[in-house]
Amino acid sequence: MKGPAIFLAQFMGDSAPYNSLESICRWAAGHGYTGVQIPTWDSRLIDLEKAAESKAYCDDLRGRVEDCGVKITELSTHLQGQLVAVHPAYDLMFDTFAPEHLRGNPKGRTEWAIQTLKQAAKASKNLGLNAHATFSGALIWHTVYPWPQRPQGLVEAGFKELAARWKPILDVFDECGVDVCYEIHPGEDLHDGVTFERFLEATGNHVRCNILYDPSHFVLQQLDYLQYIDFYHERIKMFHVKDAEFNPTGKSGVYGGFQDWVNRPGRFRSLGDGQVDFKSIFSKLAQYGFDGWAVLEWECCIKDSEQGAREGAPFIAGHMIKVTERAFDDFAGGKIDEALLRRIIGL
């Protein structure tokens, strides 16, 4: 495992050191991070179109980042990936993720999102990256807890269409040698293990269809986030280190009662302030040989972002495990003796 790293999306701002590539990378390095995950929708950090077209631009970008003391871990297209599949009920709210000239044009917005994802694949290749973070989008999320009941065949039709939109994107990522890692997230059609399996099957078990593992979203769903690793470790290629807690009351539970984050039973917290068992998570990921980056994503509803970032790097570093190369009881063994082995088993 590599790290600690930090996702820059929630930290970018209008004032220094959060308002330019070099200043925020130096800020991250100063807090002990060794990598940064870059949101591609922020033009202060990257020109995605140019990165897709120019290896020279990417070499320069990577050099500028590394001169600040960190490496680029992955690119993110969470906002653009969301726009690959948007149900009309969400058009107005998600239009803000699209360029202004495409707002009010759902078809054009989807075409732009698909093209942007393909650019992200080429940019990742030019930067020497092997994994990419995104959202799946959603066509049937509005039926997640349905009344009236879902018509037969609706789920299958939804995942068939979602896969049809993503399959050409996945193929470009495959050509570029980069894994697409979907953040499994409520609000997306890929929001737990079963929905990921449905999508994976609909894509023909595409080799580039993989997972960004973030346990915080599973705490809020009351899903077993440790067993999730046992089930899907072969597809987990990215890791967001984010804490959360779930404290239901007699008034509110999983759905949160339309309350602000600070008042919801399920809420995101800074590392160490929530309920996630990170010792067990890091142990399981080490057990299964996860070799990606451990990336802080800060979304706490109470603690200031600067404090969360400052505390995050040592928290991650303290949980990272150097996997042993020998068994603790090797001292009691000996060289292989075929005759002895046969005698021990009674032959």
pLDDT in tens, 216-275: 999 999 999 999 999 999 999 999 999 999 999 999 999 999 999 999 999 999 999 999
Cα distances (angstroms) measured from residue 55 to each of 76, 121, 194 = 19, 13, 39
* DSSP code of residue 195: H
Quote the pTM value: 0.96
Say what the pLDDT of residue 334 is.
76
CATH number for the domain harbouring residue 236: 3.20.20.150
Q: Which two tokens stand for residue 315?
A: 């928290």
Give me the domain span that covers residue 62: 2-344
* 104: helix, strand or coil: coil
Q: Which two tokens stand for residue 192?
A: 């737990």
Give Dmax (Cα) for the chain: 79
Q: Which residue bears the tokens 């597809």?
A: 235
* DSSP code of residue 296: E
Q: Which two tokens stand for residue 335?
A: 């060289």
How many structural domains are present in the chain?
Answer: 1
**99 band by pLDDT with thresholds 50, 70 and 90:** very high
Cα distances (angstroms) measured from residue 186 to each of 10, 23, 112, 195 = 19, 33, 24, 11
Q: Which long-range contacts (CB under 8 A, 24 or more apart) does 43-48 make?
A: 44/12, 44/19, 44/20, 45/8, 45/12, 45/21, 46/21, 46/75, 46/123, 48/75, 48/116, 48/119, 48/120, 48/123
Handedness of CA 121, 201, 95, 13 (dihedral sign): negative
pLDDT at 333 over 90: no
Q: Which residue bears the tokens 């706490």?
A: 300
